Amino acid sequence: MADNHGGALGRKTTIGARIVRLSVIPVLVSIAALTAFNLIMMYSSVTKSSQSEIELLTISYSSAISNADITKNKNYLNEIFTDFDEVNSYGGFGFVATETGGVISETSIPYFGKGDDLNALAEGDSGYSELAALVGSLNRNNFDYESIVRQGQQIVSLCGEKYLAGWTNISNFDTCYTFILLPYNSIMKPFYISAVIALSIAFLLIAAALTVSLRTARKITKPISDATERLTALAKGDLESPSPVTDRNDETFILLNSLGETITSLNAYITDIRNVLSAVADGDLLFTSNTVYTGDFETIKHALDKIMLSLNGTFSEVNKAAHSVKVCSEHVSDGTAVLSRNASAEAGTIEQLADSIARINEKITENANQAESARSLSSTADEAAEQGSRNMRRMIEAINDIETSSAEIEKIIKVIDDIAFQTNILALNAAVEAARAGEAGKGFAVVADEVRNLANKSAEAAARTGQLITRSIDSVRNGTQLADAAAESLEKVVEMVSTVSEIIDKIAVSAVEQADAVARINDGMDAINGTIRDNSVTAERNAEVSKELSDQFEILNRRINSFKFR
């Protein structure tokens, strides 16, 4: 972030350079173009002048040589080349050479002299190669005569020095040429002087343009630089430093004035936002902002109002929710207490119920055992009842036999009674007869009397026996009836004993099933007991949570009460 800001600031600080470039570059281009144009024109002028001059010199030398009688004055060539001040003024020299490269005139230069062969010199020293090549290009043996440039100018290098060489064919000597070599620097000296003057003027113009541009750019960039520095300070959070001002009545005045108004507005907005946030931090949600926001900043005003309204609504709802949490916490606490008491009571009840079930289980087990014993006894009683029923039937049969015998005895007793009666009658008759017999019959009378007594006694005994037999028969009949009733009752007892045995069997089976059910009930009771213990633990945890909620509510309530809200 800092690098980007620094880079942006660096780019902004080059606005003066940009202004200078924008204002100076066209001037520089114009000056450079004019200077280059002048230099080109001067170079062209000097070049053309030099070419014209050397052309005239070569023509003059050639004419002089053509018109002279060399046979009369062999030194005339040397005199011609030494008499031309124009050549001497440039420090140049002239000579005559054949098309094959032979020098036929004396020269005052140290490069070569009369009788030297340029081709041979070029073979020994490359410094002569360009001049030798130029002379060789004029050789008719090497080139077509029509293509040979018989008069011209060319820049050549001779032993490291640069010369403008001009040549002209001597009219009377087709194979000879007059050569004039002028030092290139001497020829171009006027151009160099003019170029220095032109460049100096150009540099002065450029310096003047830079000076004017820098002053103008400073006048423009100084307010912008001040504004940039102030904006940099603003970017770092400085809202208190004064804004820069200017007395220039142009766009920079508008820029700095707008910057000052912007900073003032931002300071007012940020101060208002700080006041709002400070009020919120202090818990005053009833704070009202009176600062007027303009333009797009109105959205900040709306956002602040919306935030305050939202915070008021939120804290109001939080307050209500906190009280609801308090009430719910109290309900949870009460419910937890009830749950804990109920869990304790249920635990006690479950323990009592478990003990009761254990006792019931013991009783059921005991009943099952007793039912098993009763089933065994019932089976034995059933067998005994069956045996008694059989014995009763045999007893009834015996009673029936006794009744039959009693009837026979009764018949015998009647016979005995009849016998006693007849005996008594016989005894009476015997007594009567004994009485009639007198003394003789006295013993018989006694016997008859005894027989009568015996008959009476037998009759009495038979009567008593008959009575006894009658009573016995009555008793036997009653006994038979009772035996029949007893047999019927015994049959019913047998049936009831059988039914009881079946019931006892069912009771025994039910007792086993009840024992299994009680075992399952015990398992269920263990699960219920575990659930009750879990409920008790949960109740304790709920109590702790309820206590924690209550404590948190107190903290939240204190924090909420520290705020002022609608």
Percent of the chain exceeding pLDDT 70 equals 81
Residue 153: its H or E element: strand 151-158
Per-residue pLDDT at 86: 63
Q: Is the pLDDT of residue 10 over 50?
A: no
- pLDDT band at residue 562 using 50, 70 and 90 as cut-offs: low
Joined together, the tokens standing for residue 492 give: 């019913």
Q: In Å, how far from its chain's centre is CA 482?
A: 103
In a domain? residue 256:
no
Domain that holds residue 552: 312-561
348 shares its domain with 209 = no
In a domain? residue 397:
yes
Q: Is the pLDDT of residue 461 over 70?
A: yes
Residue 157: its H or E element: strand 151-158
- pLDDT band at residue 9 using 50, 70 and 90 as cut-offs: very low
Structural domains of the chain, count: 2
Q: Is the pLDDT of residue 65 over 80?
A: no
What CATH number does the domain containing 163 carry? 3.30.450.20
pLDDT tens for 188-222 read 888 888 888 888 888 888 888 778 777 776 777 77
363 shares its domain with 505 = yes
pTM above 0.75, yes or no: no
495 shares its domain with 375 = yes
Per-residue pLDDT at 6: 45
323 shares its domain with 203 = no
Per-residue pLDDT at 565: 61
In a domain? residue 252:
no
Per-residue pLDDT at 84: 59
Domain boundary residue, one of 213, 245, 272: 213
Q: Is the pLDDT of residue 442 over 70?
A: no
329 shares its domain with 186 = no
Q: Is the pLDDT of residue 563 over 70?
A: no
Q: Work out the average pLDDT over 79-87.
A: 61
On the 0-12 / 13-18 / 19+ scale of CB atoms within 10 A, 352 is exposed
The mean pLDDT value of the chain amounts to 75
Q: Work out the average pLDDT over 485-492.
A: 72
Which phi and psi angles does 263 have, rounded to 5°? -65, -40
- pLDDT band at residue 69 using 50, 70 and 90 as cut-offs: low
322 shares its domain with 180 = no
d(CA 355, CA 492): 43
Q: Is the pLDDT of residue 299 over 80?
A: yes
Per-residue pLDDT at 498: 75
Q: Work out the average pLDDT over 308-314.
A: 79
Of the ranges 148-162, 217-231, 506-520, the best mean pLDDT one: 148-162
Residue 296: its H or E element: none
Q: Work out the average pLDDT over 449-471.
A: 74
Residue 441: its H or E element: none
- Least confident range of 415-424, 437-446, 464-473: 437-446
d(CA 206, CA 217): 16
Q: Is the pLDDT of residue 124 over 80?
A: yes
In a domain? residue 198:
yes
In a domain? residue 542:
yes
d(CA 241, CA 233): 8
Q: Work out the average pLDDT over 299-319.
A: 79
Domain boundary residue, one of 161, 183, 213: 213
407 shares its domain with 533 = yes
Buried b (16+ CB within 10 A) or exposed e, 450-465: ebbebbeebbebbeeb
β-bridge partners, 166: 153, 180
In a domain? residue 70:
yes
Domain boundary residue, one of 154, 183, 213: 213
- Least confident range of 4-13, 60-69, 147-156, 445-454: 4-13
In a domain? residue 132:
yes
Q: Work out the average pLDDT over 82-90.
A: 64
Give rounded-to-5 percent helix, strand, coil for the chain.
80, 5, 15
Per-residue pLDDT at 51: 77
**92: closest CA among 113, 76, 107, 112?**
107
In a domain? residue 279:
no
Q: Is the pLDDT of residue 234 over 60?
A: yes
User: Helix (H, G, I), strand (E, B), or coil: what is residue 116?
Assistant: coil
**167: closest CA among 153, 185, 157?**
153
HEC letters along 182-246: EEHHHHHHHHHHHHHHHHHHHHHHHHHHHHHHHHHHHHHHHHHHHHHHHHHHHHCCCCCCCCCCC
What CATH number does the domain containing 497 carry? 1.10.287.950
335 shares its domain with 203 = no
138 neighbors 99 (Cβ within 8 angstroms): yes
Q: Work out the average pLDDT over 17-25.
A: 65
Amino acid, res. 29: V
323 shares its domain with 191 = no
- pLDDT band at residue 426 using 50, 70 and 90 as cut-offs: confident
Q: Work out the average pLDDT over 344-360.
A: 74
